[in-house]
């Protein structure tokens, strides 16, 4: 099949065919995921009364996390959480290879997690599913790594287009969050996948928008100051969301026993959902209620329902939900559930925008709550993901509110500008950036990320003992092709210095001195050492600071492994740059 394809179909045309197939497959996967989640939620919660507290909220979430955790642990046997982060890692390592099970494992895991009440979104799992479809299709047809990277992007674009019915957002998300360069050759396949997935989603579920709402008011210049205020608040809430999630997940990582994580995470999630029922699942019902002016229904099934009609009860309730949403989301994913932060960021953004508008209306200002709720969704997504264009286009396409572009642009831009003052990376990229494994839009840094230390270690250096005489050193120099010699501690193999031929050239031809000098007297200290796991960007910084052309490499125990040459890194850099750039 591959041989026939190579003979009859040009590669460029074949990529377009693959992008079409990816769009069809991802839309089908998105439909299956949404249907599974809604079916499970319907079976579990349809009989719940809206006017009383339901104690099943204390049971369902922890059961869902337990089932998902056992499924991942004993059937998948691999980590499938944080889908977008895993895609970024696959791209960063220049392989763009995702395992075959990622096509289905995230669908099953997130369906159970969210259906039983996990406070996360289905979008990151479907993006991982779409990317895995693209990666495995490319692998099946033996495509090169550069094409694999593009097909992974096609899968992500198709996933967003399919689950949200938002083709432009799918394209923009992939270019803004995952891809490196906005080139024409990349845009066409991405657009095909995104549009195909969206069209098939319309066929599956009709032409309705994800968030249907009644009316909204047109943009007014007089509201610009309040939109800027909302953008700043969204940026600060995004900072809280990003750093809070990262810290909470870090706390959960301290627990090594998975059952301890399950018990703590499941208990925390169940208790929070019992107190705040809107935290159950994706929270889209709450978003629809706020967009359509039914804010009073948000209190249904909660302990706050009988606390009177004061508007402050609703405000306090929504603020507490914003505060505890990150606890519920972190408890879900860290406890063993599967899900993403797409839906949580939309949820928190909607509440933030609504609260700001509600407070301004209480001050007598004619602020439309639905407009600000939409703008808040766009602002939070822009801040959390560091993707303002995605926030703008996604909210416009989710709601059909295309006349609100100015409102969305102002809030998204201000929110993004606010958070980058404090946090240079999105929540997706934060972990990889801390490890130096993040592929960025900065081409020089991106290429350095692709270079790995272990590929540059040279080991053909003759090792010296500090007790060797000058005569023994001269014998080693005569049989070496190098002009540098590492000196190691014979007991620990730790490098303690180096001998340079240029430094001993003036005495190496005087036999009368051969027994007078030892290597310990002739060696010089090393300017710096490099750890074998050190990211290449930091390696180049150390080379620049020391002015050296060779530096020793050691492991975590400081044991000598070899040397790295700056010139060899430069040669590899130039080679990768040529391959990495567009022809």
CA angle 190, 110, 127 (to 5 degrees): 10
**Token pair for residue 414?**
């201000």
Model-level pTM? 0.75
Tens of pLDDT along 251-266? 988 888 888 889 999 9
Smallest Cα–Cα separation from 127: which of 176, 162, 78? 162
Tens of pLDDT along 332-371? 998 888 888 888 999 999 999 999 999 999 998 888 888 8
Q: Which contacts of 46-52 are long-range, i.e. CB under 8 A and separated by 24 or more positions?
A: 48/301, 49/301, 50/297, 50/300, 50/301, 51/300, 51/301, 51/305, 52/301
Is the pLDDT assigned to residue 48 strictly greater than 80?
A: no
Domain formed by 221-445, architecture: Orthogonal Bundle (1.10)
User: Residue 271 — very low, low, confident or very high, per pLDDT cuts 50/70/90?
Assistant: very high
- In terms of Cβ atoms closer than 10 Å to its own Cβ (0-12, 13-18, 19+), residue 503 is middle
Residue predicted with more confidence, 233 or 220: 233
* Residues in contact with 140: Cβ distance below 8 Å, sequence separation at least 6, in sequence order: none
CATH superfamily assigned to domain 451-580 = CBS-domain (3.10.580.10)
- Mean pLDDT of the region 546-575: 83
Q: pLDDT value at position 582? A: 45
- Mean pLDDT of the region 61-84: 85
Cα-flanking dihedrals φ and ψ of residue 348, to 5°? -65, -40
User: Residue 205 — very low, low, confident or very high, per pLDDT cuts 50/70/90?
Assistant: confident
Residue with tokens 């519920």: 328
Domain formed by 2-205, architecture: Orthogonal Bundle (1.10)
- Specify the domain boundaries for CATH 3.10.580.10 within the chain: 451-580
- Specify the domain boundaries for CATH 1.10.3080.10 within the chain: 2-205, 221-445
CB atoms closer than 10 angstroms to residue 396: 22
CB 178 within 8 A of CB 156: yes
Under DSSP, the state recorded for 213 is -
- Mean pLDDT of the region 459-474: 90
Tens of pLDDT along 181-190? 556 677 899 9
Q: pLDDT value at position 213? A: 66
Is the pLDDT assigned to residue 583 strictly greater than 50?
A: no
Is the pLDDT assigned to residue 441 strictly greater than 50?
A: no
């Amino acid at each position: 099949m591959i041989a026939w394809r190579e003979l009859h179909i040009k590669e460029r045309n074949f990529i377009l065919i693959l992008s079409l197939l990816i769009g069809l497959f991802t839309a089908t996967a998105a439909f299956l995921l949404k249907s599974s989640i809604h079916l499970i939620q319907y079976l579990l919660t349809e009989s719940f009364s809206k006017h009383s507290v339901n104690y099943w909220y204390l049971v369902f979430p922890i059961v869902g996390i337990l089932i998902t955790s056992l499924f991942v642990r004993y059937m998948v046997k691999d980590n499938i959480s944080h889908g977008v982060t895993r895609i970024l890692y696959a791209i960063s390592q220049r392989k763009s290879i995702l395992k075959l099970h990622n096509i289905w494992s995230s669908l099953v895991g997130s369906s159970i997690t969210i259906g039983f009440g996990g406070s996360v979104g289905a979008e990151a799992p479907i993006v991982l599913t779409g990317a895995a479809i693209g990666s495995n299709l490319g692998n099946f047809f033996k495509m090169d790594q550069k094409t694999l990277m593009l097909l992974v992007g096609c899968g992500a674009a198709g996933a967003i287009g399919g689950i949200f019915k938002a083709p432009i957002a799918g394209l923009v998300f992939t270019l803004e969050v995952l891809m490196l360069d906005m080139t024409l050759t990349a845009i066409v396949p991405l657009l095909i996948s995104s549009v195909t997935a969206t069209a098939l989603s319309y066929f599956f579920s009709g032409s309705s928008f994800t968030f249907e709402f009644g009316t909204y008011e047109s943009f007014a210049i007089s509201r610009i100051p309040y939109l800027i205020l909302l953008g700043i608040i969204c940026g600060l809430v995004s900072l809280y969301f990003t750093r809070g999630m990262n810290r909470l997940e870090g706390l959960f990582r301290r627990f090594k026993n998975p059952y301890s994580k399950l018990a703590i995470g499941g208990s925390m999630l169940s208790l929070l959902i019992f107190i705040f029922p809107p935290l159950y699942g994706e929270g889209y019902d709450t978003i629809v209620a706020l967009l359509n002016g039914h804010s009073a229904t948000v209190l249904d099934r909660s302990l706050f329902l009988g606390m009177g009609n004061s508007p402050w009860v609703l405000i306090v309730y929504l603020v507490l939900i914003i505060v505890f949403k990150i606890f519920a989301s972190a408890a879900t994913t860290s406890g063993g559930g599967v899900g993403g932060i797409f839906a949580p960021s939309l949820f928190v953004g909607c509440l933030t925008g609504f609260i700001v508008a509600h407070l301004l209306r209480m001050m007598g200002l004619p602020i439309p709550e639905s407009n600000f709720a939409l703008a808040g969704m766009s602002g939070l997504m822009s801040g959390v993901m560091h993707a303002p264009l995605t926030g703008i286009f996604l909210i416009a396409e989710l709601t059909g509110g295309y006349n609100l572009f100015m409102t969305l642009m102002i809030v998204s831009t201000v929110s993004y500008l606010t958070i980058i003052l404090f946090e240079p990376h999105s929540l997706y990229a934060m972990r990889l950036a801390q490890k130096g494994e993040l592929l960025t839009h900065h081409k020089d840094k991106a290429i350095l990320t692709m270079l790995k230390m272990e590929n540059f270690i040279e080991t053909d250096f003759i090792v010296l003992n500090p007790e060797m005489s000058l005569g023994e050193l001269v014998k080693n120099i005569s049989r070496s092709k190098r002009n540098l010699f590492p000196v190691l501690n014979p007991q620990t193999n730790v490098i303690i210095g180096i001998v340079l031929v240029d430094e001993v050239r003036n005495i190496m031809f005087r036999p009368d001195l051969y027994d007078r000098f030892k290597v310990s007297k002739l060696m010089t200290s090393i300017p710096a050492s490099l750890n074998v796991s050190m990211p290449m960007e930091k390696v180049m910084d150390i080379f620049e600071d020391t002015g050296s052309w060779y530096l020793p490499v050691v492991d975590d125990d400081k044991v000598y492994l070899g040397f790295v040459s700056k010139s060899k890194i430069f040669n590899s850099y130039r080679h990768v740059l040529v391959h990495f750039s567009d022809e």
